[in-house]
Amino acid sequence: MKISPPLIAVDWGSTHFRAKLFVDGQIIASVSSPDGIRHREGRDCDAILALHCGAWKHTHPDARVLMSGMIGAREGWVEAPYVTAPCGLAELAAAIVAVPSATFSEVFIVPGVRCEDPDTNTTDVMRGEETQIAGLLDSLPGGGAVICLPGTHSKWVMCQEGAIHRFRTWLTGEAYERLTRESLISGDGTPADPESEAFARGLDESDLSGGLLHHLFLGRTHLLAGRLDASEVRSYVSGLLIGHELREALTFAPDLPIHLIGDSPAATAMRSALGLLGVPHVQIHEDVHLSGLIAIAANLKA
């Protein structure tokens, strides 16, 4: 796909900064850095952007900078207000925030998306994931699909007719990190193995009565009873947490094809869980963030 002018596509999250220079359908340069929003240490966002991408401005003076992620949060460069679902590419592009830049004259930040649930009077939000989804909207089945984005805050997103319709977030990754650090269910520090029997056991037992808090304590009692070794506890807890997420997510978004995004450890664990439960899915390995920014940029007014 060709796009004019050249695009500097930036994925700027809490803990990372990643950018790609996309010219005439090809990535011709890229950079990755731990300079996430939480790691600014008082530095100016414009200065960080110039540090990593300023040279691209000299070689491609007409390049457009399009950014997504926590850079658009309240603690980022400038807050890009949430767009309310349902929304598609046109709505995301229309709500983009333009920000003055000393190096690039002007840069653009993609908004996040919020989802209101009138039945429960609750709100869910995403910031950054909407860009990954934007890269898939045109290729999803006409009848709709569910996009699963596993991670620290795992998202399950229902998409229909080229738009994000509704979504729900599970705190799975963050819960795992905190629960397996200096707690009764931290084991001996051996990383979770999604191919292990302990992971499969946790996944199965997530369907027992008693609820998540009771199930988590079983990680301790299984250890005391000799059913688990200390090296298996984290795998068991991982299986439990992913099992609870997955079972609830399948209720939230039933009977639609599932597209699992990425190759991260979280995606690998979710793929294992889906396989163990016999849930059909397709795993997407391509760079959907770049595809999303390209799609959104194509909807921007010149």
Q: Report angle CA 256, 130, 240 to the nearest 5 degrees.
A: 60
Domain boundary, last residue among 115, 149, 169: 115
Q: Is residue 120 part of a domain?
A: no
pLDDT of 2 over the 80 cut: no
Is the same domain home to 137 and 257?
yes
My answer on whether 110 and 241 are in the same domain is no
Q: Which residues of 151-175 are buried (b: 16+ CB within 10 A; e: fewer)?
A: bebbbbbbbbeebbbbbbbbebbeb
**What is the average per-residue pLDDT within 41-50?**
94
The answer to whether residue 32 scores a pLDDT higher than 90 is: yes
Determine the average pLDDT of the residues in 90-104: 97
Predicted pLDDT of residue 41:
86
117, pLDDT greater than 80: yes
**Domain membership flag for residue 223:** yes
Is pLDDT above 60 for 1?
no
Give the pLDDT confidence score for residue 301 in this predicted structure.
Answer: 74
Within a domain: residue 106? yes
Do 132 and 217 lie in one domain? The reply is: yes
Give the pLDDT mean for 187-204: 97
User: Among 44, 97, 105, which Cα is nearest to 73's?
Assistant: 97
Given a cut of 50, whether residue 42 has pLDDT beyond it is yes
Q: How many domains does the chain have?
A: 2
Both 151 and 245 in a single domain? yes
Asked whether residue 97 falls in the same domain as residue 190, the answer is no
79 and 185 assigned to the same domain: no
Among the candidates 115, 140, 172, a domain finishes at 115
| Residue 66 pLDDT | 98
pLDDT of residue 5: 85
Residue where a domain stops, chosen among 115, 136, 159: 115
Reply yes or no on whether the pLDDT at 302 is more than 70.
no
Instruction: Tell me: do 86 and 180 sit in the same domain.
Output: no
Q: Which residue has the higher pLDDT, 281 or 301?
A: 281
Statement to judge: residues 155 and 266 lie in one domain:
yes
pLDDT tens digits, 263-280: 999 999 999 999 999 999
Task: Compare 250 and 3 and report the one with higher pLDDT.
Answer: 250
Residue 180 lies in a domain: yes
Where in the sequence is the domain holding 110, given as residue range(s)? 1-115
Model pLDDT for residues 212-234, shown as the tens digit of each residue: 999 999 999 999 999 999 999 99
Residues 61 and 132 placed together within one structural domain of the fold? no
Is the pLDDT assigned to residue 283 strictly greater than 60? yes
Residue 121 resides in a domain = no
Q: C-alpha distances in angstroms, 253 versus 123, 240, 258?
A: 17, 20, 9
The secondary element (H helix, E strand) that includes residue 113 is strand 113-117
Q: Are residues 67 and 133 in the same domain?
A: no
Shared domain check, 175 and 72:
no
User: Do 84 and 170 have their domain in common?
Assistant: no
pTM above 0.75, yes or no: yes
Q: Which whole number is the average pLDDT over 241-263?
A: 94
